[in-house]
Structure 1
Amino acid sequence: MTAGRCTHILDFRDDVVVKRYTSWERGEPLREWAALTLLAEHAPGLAPTPLEAALNAHPPVIVMSRLPGRTLRGEQATGEQIKAMATALNRLHQIPPEVVEGVEPAAWRPAAAVDKTRVWADKQPDLGNNPLVQEAFRAGVAWLASNAPDQLTTNPLPPVLGLADGSHANYLWDEHEGRMRLIDWEDSGRNDRAFELGEVCEHISRVDGALDAEQLLVHIDLTPGEAQRVRDFRRLIALGWFLQLGPDGPATPHNPVGTVERQAERVLELLS
């Protein structure tokens, strides 16, 4: 949940994409190459095919296949797109747990999200004087003070390989084949499935278009316990973005005017 971070430059060629990293202190090239290699074996076609890598170069470089389509960010997602998105996520989450156990944990995962959101709340960011915004802040702080967020830090279910980044720009829609593929694996790692679904539903990129999260979750097989965890992760992630949307907040420059008010409504809806 880092706003405005750019870690790479992409060179699009006829059949391949060359990705050069401008920042790699968090191991982004290694994470991406590991994920693409695993996906090529266990879920071929779901992501770009890894072709070449110079992981120790300066800068590190990965060459991968170029996939057709356009990213979902900025789209008013249709029912067909949402169903294809769910199909892609279900396939990703069906990679055997024993395979996923060998993957490095994602840097952005439940414990980190809980800690960072509480830190942001403790700073009492300037979110303006709108009564709705102030109500959302009070409700969010009260929820963070409960034990609900702490219960999210222990995963009772097998882990999944996850993008650890819910940006809708990471979902590539191929209208000719009617399928969704997943791109940009530099933050990926072993993660909690409910957290990953919460990220997709509540990433701030949703304000650039429209994605019916409830419709997406209809196509995801969830037990009642998982469904509640997804709901709580949605609360956590929506609140985290909300706390970054003050006049000096890191997420503000990248989102349209009125986003803090819209996010306040979202937070209150999810906490109700």
Structure 2
Amino acid sequence: MTAAERWSTHVIEMRGDLVTKRYAKGDAHALLDREWRALTLLDAHAPGLAPVPVAVDRDADPPMVVMSRIPGVPLRGSPVDGARTAAMAKTLDALYGAVPGERLARVPVRPGHWAGLAVRLRDWHGRGPGPAAGDAVRAALDEGMAWLDRPGRAAGPGTSGPPVFGPGDGNLANYLWDGTTSRVGVVDFEDSGRSDRPFELAEITEHVSGWIDGGFDAASFLDCFELTADEWSRLRECRRLLALTWTFILSFDDPERPRNPPGTAARQAERLRALLG
């Protein structure tokens, strides 16, 4: 099993220099359309950061995209040293600013941005946490929801600076380190769209892949970016929102068929409470 297959939720086929991705779950056509739009935009405005789009077939069963295969190994699953951290930040800095403003204005806001995510969290809270939630997880979720329900939280905090193109997925498996050229390429754009830097950076720092295996220094990663005071303020709030999201997600883990090591939800609850301060 390749690294891409290990962490992918879709069907990935690699043949020579080409990769075929079949969207077998969720709203397949919406996922495909976002991925194809991202690949074509980045190929036009930031070639080399992402796979080159080759072909798309919305009528296939399941629908699929064919793209070039970019070199490298995923950052997930091994320590992310200083060179890899700096290369990842350099790639993201270029990616965020790649799409011209007038074109970016026509790109829909990425799924799971602040307002939509807040609605989803309130729905989850109404249904209650999952079977992996012990007392510590439930307490952290209650504390997080009390924070979210403060006045003004629905629309999100502060100013976010200029819009950016966001990959929409913070999984370190989507960032490929090429030891030959010391570059990091990006794959998986099915949740991509218009966003802002603080939200996208929070998406990465709070993703479970960044801490469950150890070795990713979130503080050093964030120090690679020149953020304004307003962006730092918004980043803090976005990290809280994403940490709350992951606490819910990990609480839903099935104890009979766990996707994560025992105690992961409890560890995430500790992270959330630390961020809430």
**Common fold, TM-score beyond 0.5?**
yes
Q: Hey, what does 2:214 align to over in structure 1?
A: 209
Cα 1:6–1:177 shift into 2, 3 Å: closer
Alpha-carbon distance between aligned partners in 1 of 2:43 and 2:133, rounded to the nearest angstrom: 47
What pairs with 1:165-176 in structure 2 (closer than 5 Å)? 165-176=169-180
2:226 maps to 1:192: no
Q: Hey, what does 2:21 align to over in structure 1?
A: 19
What pairs with 1:34-183 in structure 2 (closer than 5 Å)? 34-95=37-98, 96-125=100-129, 128-130=133-135, 132-147=136-151, 149-152=153-156, 156-183=160-187
Q: Hey, what does 1:10 align to over in structure 2?
A: 12
Deviation at 1:49, TM superposition (A): 0.8
Cα 1:134–1:7 shift into 2, 3 Å: closer
Alpha-carbon distance between aligned partners in 2 of 1:225 and 1:128, rounded to the nearest angstrom: 34
Q: Hey, what does 1:235 align to over in structure 2?
A: 240
Q: Deviations over 1:226-261 (max 9, x none)?
A: 0111111110111111123336669x8221111012
Q: Name the SS of the counterpart of 2:249 in structure 1.
A: coil
Cα 1:186–1:40 shift into 2, 3 Å: same
Q: Hey, what does 1:29 align to over in structure 2?
A: 32
TM-score by length of 1: 0.89
Alpha-carbon distance between aligned partners in 2 of 1:184 and 1:31, rounded to the nearest angstrom: 10
The runs of 5 or more residues in structure 2 that have no matched partner are 1-6
1:140–1:267 contact (8 Å) kept in structure 2: yes
Q: How many residues align?
A: 267
Deviation at 1:164, TM superposition (A): 1.4
Deviation at 1:148, TM superposition (A): 5.5
Deviation at 1:135, TM superposition (A): 4.1
The amino acid that maps onto 1:181 is: G
Alpha-carbon distance between aligned partners in 1 of 2:134 and 2:22, rounded to the nearest angstrom: 43
Once the two structures are overlaid, the 10-residue window that deviates more, 173-182 or 141-150, is: 141-150
Q: Name the SS of the counterpart of 1:53 in structure 2.
A: strand
The amino acid that maps onto 1:117 is: L
The amino acid that maps onto 2:258 is: P
Aligned sequence identity (%):
43
2:158–2:233 contact (8 Å) kept in structure 1: no
Deviation at 1:170, TM superposition (A): 1.1
The runs of 5 or more residues in structure 1 that have no matched partner are none
The amino acid that maps onto 1:159 is: P
Alpha-carbon distance between aligned partners in 1 of 2:74 and 2:263, rounded to the nearest angstrom: 24
Deviation at 1:141, TM superposition (A): 2.5
Q: Deviations over 1:48-84 (max 9, x none)?
A: 0112222333332222111111111212211111111
TM-score by length of 2: 0.87
Alpha-carbon distance between aligned partners in 2 of 1:128 and 1:58, rounded to the nearest angstrom: 37
Alpha-carbon distance between aligned partners in 2 of 1:87 and 1:29, rounded to the nearest angstrom: 27
Deviation at 1:140, TM superposition (A): 1.2
The amino acid that maps onto 1:76 is: P
Q: Name the SS of the counterpart of 2:12 in structure 1.
A: strand
Q: Hey, what does 2:4 align to over in structure 1?
A: none
The amino acid that maps onto 2:124 is: W
Q: Deviations over 1:107-139 (max 9, x none)?
A: 221111111122223333255444x43542342
Cα 1:193–1:31 shift into 2, 3 Å: same
